[in-house]
Amino acid sequence: MNELEKVNKIIDLVKSKTSKGLTKEVLNDINQAIKLNPDSADLYNERGLINSKLRQYKKAINDFTIAIQINPELFEAYKNRGNLYSKSKKYNEAISDFDKAIKYNPNLPGVYNNRGIAKEIIKDFDGAYKDYSKAIEINPRFASPYSNRGILRDMRDDFEGAISDYSQAIKINSGFSSAYNNRGILFEKQGKSERAINDFTMALKIYPKFVDAYSNRGISYISMNEEELALKDFEIAIKLSPKFSTPYLNRGILMKKKNNYDEAIKDFDKAIGINERFADAYFHRGMLNLLINNKENSLKDLSKASELGNVKAKEELNHIKKES
């Protein structure tokens, strides 16, 4: 048995033990193997994966780096290190590693998808879109890039394209809760509240603690004039995640609709207290203050909302100025 065969046998044994949950035992085995085979890039790469599972991320990155130094064309090591850089929010470093992984193996749909996610985070939306599309081209049965591309299509106001992508993701993976949630949001935007509720409900069947889905379903219930069901969903969302600002905003909108202005203000205050850059909360509080003739506070809120990018707030301010 030559050295390569020995290394491959060790790696197979390590993978077998790892699959059985014997991670710490495996680490001892691979440390011994590296002592006997210090020039094996594959062994360092494998130890990096084990350290990743043990959440020893610095050690894992170091292992992948050594693997690359030994074999600069080992695409798995670039891929694995890139994933850890993404986890560490070092997105430019991650993209650089994904670039190299693709250079040495251009048929990696998962790497294209992960590079797309990193590019999206740094606001390279066109680059992300191309990467998601390439991942789909390589593997049309890969659900994640459809869902990710759907988000970008939504941002481009290509709602039908986004719905098509979410639907394909769901077709491939019927347990894809976020795809149901995102498709539901688009159905609600299109005024198809009943279909939206069906999607949010499916998302919740898959993941019963999906806070966004409760909050979003509540909005659709408001559209259907099911106010008590809406209130119930908002309160479940708040109970599940008390530090999440959106359900407070949505409950405030419902309270305003029910003419319960004091409670609405409290909810908008709470949303802003959690997230001081929550433009929609400033807008809705500003509009409520305008309704109750608190013009000074209304102008402050609408100005802040406009400053944070809320287009409706800017339009409302222009309207107020014209009437003054």
Supply the CATH number for residue 60's domain.
1.25.40.10
DSSP string, 209-275: T-HHHHHHHHHHHHHTT-HHHHHHHHHHHHHH-TT-HHHHHHHHHHHHHTT-HHHHHHHHHHHHHH-
Task: Give the Cβ contact number of residue 319 at 10 Å.
Answer: 10
Say if CB 152 and CB 185 are below 8 A apart: no
149 lies in some domain: no
Q: Is the dihedral of CA 254, 257, 261, 265 positive or negative?
A: positive
Tokens 């390279």, residue? 124
Looking at residue 320, its pLDDT comes to: 86
Looking at residue 29, its pLDDT comes to: 81
Helix (H, G, I), strand (E, B) or coil at 36: helix
Task: Give the Cβ contact number of residue 297 at 10 Å.
Answer: 15
What does the chain come to in residues?
A: 324
142 lies in some domain: no
Report the number of distinct structural domains present in the chain: 1
* Alpha-carbon distances of 204 from 140, 193, 250, rounded to whole Å: 27, 16, 18
121 lies in some domain: no
- Taking only the tens place, the pLDDT of each residue in 289-322 is 999 999 999 999 999 999 999 999 999 999 888 8
**286 pLDDT exceeds 90?**
yes
267 lies in some domain: no
**Domain that residue 58 falls in:** 1-72
304 lies in some domain: no
**In the predicted model, what is the mean pLDDT of residues 185-197?**
97
Q: Is the dihedral of CA 29, 35, 39, 45 positive or negative?
A: positive
Looking at residue 321, its pLDDT comes to: 80
**In the predicted model, what is the mean pLDDT of residues 28-42?**
87
46 lies in some domain: yes
Looking at residue 322, its pLDDT comes to: 80
**218 pLDDT exceeds 90?**
yes
- CA–CA separation, 120 vs 124, rounded Å? 5
Task: Give the Cβ contact number of residue 59 at 10 Å.
Answer: 16
pLDDT band at 35 (very low <50, low <70, confident <90, very high): confident
168 lies in some domain: no
**25 pLDDT exceeds 90?**
no
* Alpha-carbon distances of 103 from 27, 72, 115, 159, rounded to whole Å: 30, 11, 13, 34
**112 pLDDT exceeds 90?**
yes
**In the predicted model, what is the mean pLDDT of residues 251-270?**
97
* Alpha-carbon distances of 191 from 54, 165, 196, 204, 212, rounded to whole Å: 47, 19, 9, 21, 19
Say if CB 281 and CB 250 are below 8 A apart: no
pLDDT band at 117 (very low <50, low <70, confident <90, very high): very high
**In the predicted model, what is the mean pLDDT of residues 232-259?**
97
**22 pLDDT exceeds 60?**
no
15 lies in some domain: yes
**186 pLDDT exceeds 90?**
yes
Main-chain dihedrals φ then ψ at residue 180, nearest 5 degrees: -60, -45
